[in-house]
Structures are given as structure tokens and as C-alpha cells.
Amino acid sequence: MAQKIPATVITGFLGAGKTTLVRHLLQNANGKRIALIINEFGDLGVDGEVLKGCGEETCREEDIVELSNGCICCTVADDFIPTMEALLARNELPDHIVIETSGLALPQPLVRAFNWPDIRTKVTVDGVVTVVDGPAVRDGLFAHDHAAIDAQRSADEMLDHETPLSELFEDQLACADMVVVNKRDLMEGEEATSLTAHLKSETRAGVQVISADHGAVSPSVLLGLGMGAEGDLDARHEVHHHHHHDDEDDHHHDHHDHDDFESFVVDLGELPDADGFVAALPEVIRAHNILRLKGFAAVSGKPMRLTIQAVGPRVDSYFDRAFGGPEERSTRLVVIGQAGLDQQAIRAALAA
């Protein structure tokens, strides 16, 4: 069976920074071909124009599809499903699909749409990423420009729900696999740290909550979550069941070509106890705020190589193949997290 194409759903209110985050992703995709579906409607396709020209290799103009008929969760059958079917019918398929929702959209109905018969065998929801306007949430506003959101709501003739922003925000958090607290540069002192900790307490176990400036989140952190969200809808409960608002990102300026994430490699010898090592990883990951951990291990007495992959505290491991003749039997793990990881302490914890 062919491997399913991973799709990332990016949600968040108007002005939170979704388009900035997507643009940073495209400009740092390192050759990964990404198809982009933008749920925009209104007078001008501003976000589409902002995202075009990010590079032929990564996201060609024909790989960018704008859905401008209204809020995506209200037009799933008429708009989103046909778009996905047309994308999947192409001879040259993308490596990854990124969907930027309207800010008025409930993420749950969109994720549910991936169970559509002609889609579920070909695509899986790699993860749902909720982008948060840090200063707005700090001030209890959820979005920085409520008048713009009201205007979007009025302009969307297809909108079939009048949901308070507070409930929409709860739905976005409930469905998220990762929460990006954006505009950290506009908060003072420990405000970003405090807000990140608060939002962490408001999400379900295992959800990663990180902070960022100008949507600069490394693709190695954002993609490859492997959540299969369409099969986990019961855990992503909706606060309400009818519907959305509209959202776009008007924070396009001041692009940064760097981000605040770091990675390093930990080299270990053969593992004497693979089960014990894997069982101890979640606690090490939690203790040191590790976002991703991946690599290969040699296990004493085992001819096969052990693959280890962790997204937050969720760890998967399996033996993938035998070590080759001259191949060194060693353990090599890549650790990824936000800048400031205590590398010495993490190395010591993994070695222990």
C-alpha cells in the first residue's frame, strides 16, 4: 500500500501570524515539495500573493490553491473535498500538504473531512497547529483586531455559525497537536513564558506549546508530527458544533530567515536494555522540554537496528533492518528543541 501523504492543518485567528508561519515554512523546506490550500475569501487574495514566489522547487504557483467561497468548515463538501480530490488526481503528488484555515473556521469539521472515502486512503492529518496571537491572548482579546474579524464574519455569506471568539479559541486549543504562541517579541519579560505555561495547562496531554517571533518555526519541528488526527477525533472535543469565523494573517512584514530552535546529536554506544531506554525517554523529554527526538540505536545481542522517533513525550520504536557488514554498531540520536536546551544535562540523562 502506498504511503499516505501527510497534511498539516494550520488554524488561528486573523492576524495571529498563520501566513507568516507558512511563508517561513516554505522558504526553509529544503526541497520538500509542499502543496498549499489557503482558505481565503474577500476582495483580494492577499495571502495567496504573499505566499507565491517562495520558490519553484518548494511550492510552485500551481501548488497553491485558494478557497475563496467562505469559511472552510462550512464548505467542506462543496469546496474542500473537490479541491483535495483534484490535488490527489495529479500525476505529480506533493510530499506534504499544508492547509491554512480561515480564522473563523472550527478545525474539527475539517479534520473530520479527512475520513471522506476517497481521501482517507491517500492522506493523513500529520498534525493540527494552532497559531496564537500572544499579546492579544495575554490581554484576554484572543485576536488583535476584533473589528476586522467582525467584518470578515459579515462578508462570509456561507458562514453557518455565530460563535464567540472565546469558544472558537477553546476549539482551536482542543484540536491542536502543537500551539505556537506567536509575537513573542511584543511581550515583555516572562510574559511569553507565563502564557506558554498557561496554555500548556489548557491543552490535552502531549500537546506541544512553543513560542516564536514572526512565525519562525523550523520545519523540523512543525512537520512530521505523525498524529493521524482524523482517527483521534474523540480526544479533540468541540466546545460547540456549529461554526466559524474568518481569519487571515496581516502580519506579513519583518520576515526573519532564522528561528529560535536548535538541534544536536547525542552519540551513545550499544544499548544494554532497549525496552528500559525507550521507557525512560518520555520523562527525559518532559524534564528538558524536548520537542523532537529521532535516530537509530544498536542493542546488545540484537542484529537489527532500532529506530526511535519521539514527538514530545510520545515515543515510537521498532527494528527496521539489520546492521551492514562494516557499519558501526552505535546509537545516534538527534535532539530538537527551542534555543537554550541544556545539552550537557540531556546528554547525561540519555546516557544514564
Please, which residues bridge with residue 7 across strands?
97, 125
Give the tens place of pLDDT for each residue, 330-339: 999 989 888 8
Would the pTM of this model clear 0.95, i.e. be above it? no
Nearest-5° Cα angle at 67, 64 to 72: 125
Nearest CA to 180 out of 259, 266, 96 is that of 259
d(CA 343, CA 293): 13
pLDDT of res. 76: 59
Q: Contact, 251 vs 183, CB < 8 A?
A: yes
pLDDT computed for residue 216 by the predictor? 92
Contacts of 33 (CB under 8 A, 6+ apart): 57, 58, 59, 63, 94, 95, 96
Q: Which element (helix H / strand E) includes 179? A: strand 178-182
Give the span between the Cα atoms of 294 and 323, in whole angstroms: 18
State which amino acid sits at residue 84: M
Q: Would you give per-residue pLDDT tens digits along the chain (352 residues)?
A: 568 999 999 999 878 888 889 888 988 888 888 998 887 544 334 455 545 555 555 556 677 777 665 555 555 556 778 888 888 988 889 999 999 987 777 888 889 889 988 899 999 999 999 999 999 888 887 776 666 655 555 555 454 445 567 788 888 999 999 999 999 999 987 898 999 999 999 999 889 999 999 999 999 999 999 999 999 888 888 765 444 333 333 333 333 333 477 888 999 989 999 999 999 999 999 899 888 888 899 999 999 989 898 888 888 888 888 888 788 889 999 898 888 889 999 999 999 8
